[in-house]
Chains A and B, each alone.
Chain A
Amino acid sequence: AQTVTQSQPEMSVQEAETVTLSCTYDTSESNYYLFWYKQPPSRQMILVIRQEAYKQQNATENRFSVNFQKAAKSFSLKISDSQLGDTAMYFCAFGPNFGNEKLTFGTGTRLTIIP
């Protein structure tokens, strides 16, 4: 069974700074998907970024980028030029390549952007 570990329960940074959220996972599969989801306070969970394990290039979405280290089973999220709207819970998730689309989520990191 896969496991996903987020070792930082809470983080805070000043607005406009760069912050990196850590995620490690454990799997015996060679191909899979990794996700970062964002859950703003009292709002809907949304996808931030998605990485396919067979792609070596790190995924990027505007100010959000990942550092995917397959051998180390590490998948960190970097948020550049952080904004107040980035304040949220961030969840890392693992998804298999085949089968039923089940995701395994980490325990989350609560990120606060300080004005």
Chain B
Amino acid sequence: DVKVTQSSRYLVKRTGEKVFLECVQDMDHENMFWYRQDPGLGLRLIYFSYDVKMKEKGDIPEGYSVSREKKERFSLILESASTNQTSMYLCASTTGGYRNQPQHFGDGTRLSIL
């Protein structure tokens, strides 16, 4: 089975801090994604990556950056955390190519910015 592991289930940080959320997948997937989940808004795509060192902005990239130095690892960075970034963050991965294969999700990181 595919395993997508997010480094923390719960995280509390202060405004202005630089925050790193880590995600690792063990199935050699080409594509990796970071989503933000908020009540009433569903999942919104922040960034995704389709290869090492490749990234594309999603729907809400402002205030975030990403890094993918190795195929299995995709990091989300909050450059200067703000209270409106308090949310659940989900990482996902999928194999590349046609036919839109299902995404596999991690357990999520519930991030609180105080």
Contacts and interface: CB of A to CB of B under 8 A. Distances in A.
B98 A100 contact: no
Contacts of B99: 33, 52, 97
Contacts of B50: 100-101
Contact of B56 (A9, A95, A98, A100): A100
Interface of A: 6, 9, 32-33, 35, 37, 43-47, 50, 52, 91, 95-98, 100-103, 105-108
Q: Give chain B's interface residue range (CB within 8 Å of chain A).
A: 20 to 34
A20 B58 CA distance: 31
Given A9-B40, A105-B43, A107-B40, A97 B98 contact: yes
Contacts, number: 56
B45 A102 contact: yes
21 contacts: A9-B40, A33-B99, A43-B107, A44-B105, A44-B107, A44-B108, A45-B108, A47-B103, A91-B42, A95-B100, A97-B98, A100-B31, A100-B56, A101-B31, A101-B50, A101-B94, A101-B103, A103-B103, A105-B42, A107-B40, A108-B42
B102 A50 contact: yes
B48 interface: yes
A101 B101 contact: yes
A97 B103 CA distance: 14
Which residue of A37, A98, A101, A103 has the most chain B CB atoms within 10 A of its CB atom? A101
B89 to A, nearest CB: 12
A95 B94 CA distance: 12
A3 B52 CA distance: 29
Given A96-B100, A97-B98, A101-B101, A44 B42 contact: no
B95 to A, nearest CB: 9
